[in-house]
Amino acid sequence: MKKPKIVFFDAKPYDIDSFDAINSDFGFQIKYYKNHLNPDTVKLAEGSDVVCPFVNDPITAEVIQQLLKYRIPLIALRSAGYNNVDLSAAYRNIHVVRVPAYSPYAIAEHAVALIMALNRKTHRAFYRIRDNNFTITGLKGFDMYGKTAGVIGTGKIGKVLINILKGFGMNVLAYDVFPDEKYAEQVGFKYVSLDDLYRNSDIISLNCPLNKSTYHLISRESITKMKDGVMIINTGRGHLIDTKALIEGLKKNKIGAAGLDVYEEESEFFFEDFSNQIIDDDVLARLMTFSNVLITSHQGFFTREALENIARTTLQNVKDYFEDQPLINEICYRCKEDECRKNKLGRCF
C-alpha cells in the first residue's frame, strides 16, 4: 500500500525537525507549508490524504467542505486543544484526531517558572542589570513556603504542578469537577469550592480545559472574591480569563501579578514575529504595559520531550487510521458533549 501523504500547515522549523526525526519510524510522505490553513490556502491540501494543522489554523465548515471535495478523510491535529475546529461540521464527515497529552511536566514546570519570575521579579532584574542598574529596590518578593496555592483543574498537568508546589512547602487547595480524593489524601492537599479557593489562595493557577462552564472563569465577579494582591497564572486556554476584567484588577492592585502563557485573541499574534510592526490589539498592548504581568507566547509545551511526544502520537494516529485500528485519540462533536459511543472499530462513525 502506498504510504499516506500528510500536508502540514503553519509548520515551524522545530515542527519540521521533530516530525522528520520521528517519521523515520513511519515513512510517511510529508509536505510542510508555512501558511495557515484557511479557505484561501486549503487548496494546498489537494492530493494529500491527511492535513495536519496547528492551534491557530481555523478549521471552519468552509475548510472542511473543501477537504471533503479533495477526498481527505482525516484531520490530524498536532495539539491537545481543538476549539479551532468546527466539530459539528466535521461530525460524520471527516475524522479528527489530536494529541491529548504530550508532557504534563513541560506545562506544569512552565507555570512554576512564571510564578518564580513574577514573585522574585527576575524579568525586571534582567533588564536592570543590562542597563548597569544594580539596585534591588522594587524587586522584593515573598517566601513561597507556607503560602497557599489554588490549582483549578487536577488532571495530569494539575497533579504535576501540585507535586512541585508541595515541594516548596506550600499549602494547596484544588478545585475539579471530578475530584481525585484518593490522590489528594496521598499527596496532602484539599479539594474545596471555587469560592473557597478564590478567598484563600495567594497564587491561583488555571489548568482546566476550556468549555461552556469554564469560559471567563476568571471574571470581574470571581476577582472580587480573591485576596488582595493575588497572583494569577494561566497556562491553560486564553478564554479562561476575561482579559478586560484582569486589566481592571491589575489597575486597582487587586491582582498583584499575572503570568499568561495564553491569551484570548492569541491566534492573531502568538507564534509569529511582529517585531517590526505595531500591535493593533489594544487589550494586548495594555497588558504589555504592566511590569507585574509576564506574557509568554504559548510556549509551555515547548520542550524536547514534548515535541517528540507530539510528533510520535500524531503520526501514530495517522498510522492507526490507515491500518483500520481504533482511533483512541479521536474527537468529534458528540465526544465534546460526552455522548459519543464509538462503534466496534473504535471510531466515532
Q: pLDDT band at 341, cuts 50/70/90?
A: low
Cβ neighbors of 301 (< 8 A, separation 6 or more) are 102, 103, 106, 107, 310
Statement to judge: residues 117 and 48 lie in one domain: no
Statement to judge: residues 158 and 271 lie in one domain: yes
Statement to judge: residues 328 and 198 lie in one domain: no
Statement to judge: residues 196 and 283 lie in one domain: yes
Note the pLDDT tens digit of each residue in 260-285.
999 998 878 888 888 899 888 999 99
Statement to judge: residues 153 and 236 lie in one domain: yes
Does residue 206 lie within any of the structural domains?
yes
Statement to judge: residues 130 and 264 lie in one domain: yes
- Cell numbers for 308: 517528540
The Cα–Cα gap between 260 and 287 comes to: 10
Q: pLDDT band at 339, cuts 50/70/90?
A: low
Note the pLDDT tens digit of each residue in 168-190.
999 999 999 999 999 999 999 99
Does residue 342 lie within any of the structural domains?
no
Cβ neighbors of 252 (< 8 A, separation 6 or more) are none
> Containing domain of residue 284, as a range?
104-295
DSSP 251: H
Statement to judge: residues 247 and 141 lie in one domain: yes
The Cα–Cα gap between 262 and 269 comes to: 11
Catalytic (active-site) positions: 237, 266, 298
Does residue 347 lie within any of the structural domains?
no
With 0-12 / 13-18 / 19 or more C-beta atoms within 10 angstroms meaning exposed / middle / buried, residue 100 is: middle
Say what the pTM is. 0.90
Does residue 263 lie within any of the structural domains?
yes
Statement to judge: residues 68 and 138 lie in one domain: no
Does residue 133 lie within any of the structural domains?
yes
Statement to judge: residues 236 and 147 lie in one domain: yes
CATH number at residue 231: 3.40.50.720
Does residue 278 lie within any of the structural domains?
yes
Q: How many domains does the chain have?
A: 2
Statement to judge: residues 93 and 145 lie in one domain: no
For the chain, what is the mean pLDDT?
Answer: 94
Statement to judge: residues 85 and 132 lie in one domain: no
Statement to judge: residues 241 and 322 lie in one domain: no
- Cell numbers for 315: 503520526
